[in-house]
Structure 1
Amino acid sequence: MSGRDGATYDVRVWGVTKRAWRSGTTYRVRWVVGRKEWHDSFTTRALAESFRADLLSLARQGEPFDVATGRPVSWQPEDLALTSWYEHACTYVDMKWPHAAGKSRQGIAESLATVTPALLSSTKSRPADTTMRAVLYGWSFNARRRAAGPPPGELIRAQRWIAAHTRPVADLADLAVLRPALDALALRMDGKPAAAATVSRKRAIFYNAVEYAVELGHLTANPIAAIKWRAPKVTEAVNPRVVINHGQARALLAAVRRLPSGDRLVAFFAVMYYAALRPGEAVDLRKEALSLPAKGWGELYLTTSAPSAGRSWSQSGTRREPRQLKHRGTEEVRIVPSPPELTALLREHLEEHGTAPDGRLFRGVRGGPLSESLYGRLWASARTTAFIPEEAASPLARRPYDLRHAAVSTWLNGGVPAPQIAAWAGHSVDVLLRVYAKCIAGQDDALRRRVEQALRDGGS
């Protein structure tokens, strides 16, 4: 029998069950509200029995239970139903913004702008899809722009409509509401399937936003964990076709040097190839990070990176915002060896071009941070010069980032232990082997000889 809207008297409470885990023992209470099963776990049996007794008592007294949360209606805060998904999403953005990198802020906005149209409570007078995306991605989920004032005039009406027509956060507990939201993450704006890596990233952000709703008390548990929905399989491994050999790398660096202003960026591309720096790390490389002898092996002491995310997504309004290394704390240092060839190129760069006033080795035409568009154009020109047409048309070193892949692949094929490579590259060993497994080449014959020897030894 149903009670008020969203509530029911159809409640069954089951007994307490004991569950053993590696981390300890828990006691679980299960109950059914309408057709949906709910459960809560406790560290002691006494707590579980007390919680079960409260549920039984209220059910026997005729207390309606909320079908969206599974809890007695009297347990729901008065303002719970008033918190819309849109309001929560903006709160989540504000929570993440101060500590997130520009790229992460951009990814959060992209994910929330994708899922929010699937959580509308009405379609009457709905703004056009392009208008909704413009206001959600460009203003609502950009904390800095939202704090600066209302959206542009033509978007105010759309923003107000969206704010008034998104479902309560509590509705996400209904899997019939949740599934279309997850399905939206798998599509691009044009309705075509999104790339697997994109879907996986967006789902992770949505999951985290819903987890924050649990933390704030809008939901009792994260319903995404219970739904049987799978993102497309992500291919993480590097395509071996993008990896260049040492001769090709030298040819590319020589081609860069011959281009107008290219001599200023030879060492920039070299640190990615010889030391596996990410582009953002190379852009922010400073003189004090170098330990270079007159010749031979040197070392790079990396502490910061300046990835490009665009002015809209940085706290300062600049295209690049220096921060700590990826996956590392603010005080952590990554030490990377500088082979003799790289040492020579870096010393040459310092002698001929010096540094910016703040110590940066590489800078733009006017002395500011090196832009992605500038080094991207140089790289594209160098490829057409250094490669034959068939190679230039292939994925071979198509992006400057592929130089980093070549560096890690070279180390792996040279027999450097995986933990050492992971430390140099700033990876975990697990990620290193998973991403670069297909780039380990040229060892088949030696490994087969080892197997043959082992078989002979076993038969003697």
Structure 2
Amino acid sequence: MERNSLPVSAWEEPEKVDEVLRAVDTRLDGKQAAAWPRKRHRRILNVVMKHAIRRRVLRTNPLPKGKESTTVTKTSNAVDKRSLMNADQAAALHDWIRRRPRGGERLHAFFATLYYCGLRPEEAVAMRVEDVTLPGPDAGDQWCELLIHAATPEVGKQWTDTGEIHEERDLKGRAQGETRTVPGHPALTRVLQRHIEDEELKPGDLLFQGEMGGILAGSVIRRAWRSARKAVLPPRLRVAHG
């Protein structure tokens, strides 16, 4: 790295700074990167510069400040509705998954929970039966409530302290130990009531389990979703709803 890296003093040359900024704003294919990754890359660079200043390697931050550095990296939180599935497409996808010969009913309940409650997959696979508040057995036309308090992302055995594929964490973007409650549509109430009954689940059991009773694997989730999209959606829509 030392042989192939420029000295830190290169940051004192405006031309080199501009060259680096152009590089972090450009994808490998030569096209301009999207606004959010460009903004993230510049934030990372600023952290590096502040570290160099603290270590007295640099005297000042060479990166541009103010409007000059932010106007080109504006981002928007608005959702492009063209990328969202409509109710008919969702129904067709869920119905195809439900009729899947291997674990279809179980996966249908999982994807229905994502659809109606907007959960992240790692939040849904961490849920226990006791985290769902359902109305009475004859009240399928009422809303249910989900308590979300943990996430179990699939990070790989080499990255966890336990050697397991999954690692339990707090909710993303929230304080440690913080929870949130999510209302569930009456249609989801019916799905979850039937799912819990058919699987004979107890309060402390995982709500969505794999075939062997453990955490529902990400590979199973991804395979089912890809197959459903391929079977139900026309080619022009598969990328948009990926």
State TM-score, norm by structure 1. Answer: 0.45
1:269 equivalent to 2:121? Answer: no
Residues 1:215 and 1:396: Cα distance change in structure 2 (over 3 Å): same
* Letter of the 1:290 counterpart: V
Aligned length, in residue pairs: 235
1:327 pairs, out of 173, 187, 200, with: 173
- Find 2:22's aligned residue among 183, 196, 209: 183
Match of 2:220 in 1: 374
- Structure 2 gaps, min length 5: none
The residue that corresponds to 1:242 in the other structure is: 83
Structure 1 segments of 4+ aligned residues over 6 angstroms from their partners: none
Aligned to 1:200: 39
**Deviation sequence 1:240-271 (CA, Å, 0-9, x none):** 12223334323322211101221111111111
Q: Give the whole-Å Cα distance in 2 for the aligned partners of 1:215 and 1:356.
A: 55
The equivalent residue for 1:353 is 199
Is the alpha carbon distance of 1:214 and 1:350 closer, same or farther for their aligned partners in structure 2, counting shifts above 3 Å? farther
Gaps of 5+ in 1: 1-161, 400-460
More helix by share: 1
Residues 114, 124 of structure 2: 8 Å contact kept:
yes
Asked if the contact 2:129–2:202 (Cα under 8 Å) also holds between the matched residues in 1, the reply is: no
Q: d(CA) in 2 for partners of 1:354 and 1:219?
A: 64
Alignment partner for residue 258 of structure 1, among 91, 94, 99?
99
Pick from 121, 132, 148 the counterpart of residue 290 of structure 1: 132
What is the deviation of 1:355?
5.5
Deviation at 1:335, TM superposition (A): 0.9
For the 8 Å contact 2:144–2:183, the answer to whether it is kept is yes
3-state SS of paired residue (2:223): helix
| Structure 2 match to 1:40 | none
Looking at structure 1, the residues matched to 45 and 214 of structure 2 have their Cα atoms a distance apart, in angstroms, of: 36
Cα root mean square deviation, aligned: 3.1
Q: Secondary structure at the match of 2:183?
A: strand
The answer (yes or no) to whether the contact 1:356–1:362 under 8 Å persists in 2 is: no
**Structure 2 CA distance for partners of 1:197 and 1:354, relative to 1, 3 Å:** farther
When Rg is computed on C-alpha atoms for both structures, the one with the higher figure is 1
C-alpha contact (below 8 Å) 1:355/1:362 kept by paired residues: no
The aligned runs of 1:53-452 (5 Å cut-off) are 162-163=1-2, 165-169=4-8, 171-226=10-65, 228-229=68-69, 231=72, 233-234=74-75, 236-260=77-101, 261-294=103-136, 295=139, 296-354=142-200, 359-387=205-233, 389=234, 393-395=236-238, 398-399=241-242
Partners in 2 of 1:214 and 1:356 — Cα distance? 57
Deviation of the 1:171 alpha carbon = 4.7
Alignment-mate amino acid for residue 127 of structure 2: L
Secondary structure at the aligned position of 1:364 is classed as coil
Q: Answer yes or no: is the 8 Å Cα contact 2:35–2:73 preserved in 1.
A: yes
Residues 360-400 of structure 1: CA distance to partner in whole angstroms, max 9, x if unpaired?
2223344443333321221222234444x3xx53158723x
More strand by share: 1
Partner SS state of residue 350, structure 1: helix
Aligned partner of 1:142 in structure 2 is none
Tell me the distance in 2 between the aligned counterparts of 1:324 and 1:250: 31
Distance 1:284 1:251, change over 3 A: same
8 Å contact from structure 1 (residues 284, 304) kept in 2? yes
Q: How far apart are residue 275 of structure 1 and its match?
A: 0.9
Aligned CA distance change for structure 1 residues 200 and 226 (closer, same or farther; 3 Å): closer
CA shift in 2, pair 1:218/1:364, >3 Å: farther
8 Å CA contact retained: 1:305, 1:325: yes
Q: Greater relative contact order: 1 or 2 (C-alpha under 8 angstroms, separation 6 or more)?
A: 2
Q: In the TM superposition, what is the alpha-carbon distance from 1:334 to its structure 2 partner?
A: 0.8
Q: Aligned-pair distance for 1:281?
A: 1.3
**1:385–1:298: structure 2 CA closer, same or farther, 3 Å change rule?**
same
- Residues 114, 120 of structure 2: 8 Å contact kept: yes
Q: Please give the per-residue CA displacement for 1:326-361, whole angstroms capped at 9, x wherever unaligned.
A: 210111111111222112211222222255997322
Distance 1:342 1:172, change over 3 A: same
252 and 344 in structure 1: CA distance in 2 versus 1, 3 angstrom threshold: same
Q: Which amino acid aligns with 2:192?
A: L
Q: Is the 8 A contact 1:310 1:320 kept in 2?
A: yes
User: SS where residue 63 of structure 2 aligns?
Assistant: helix
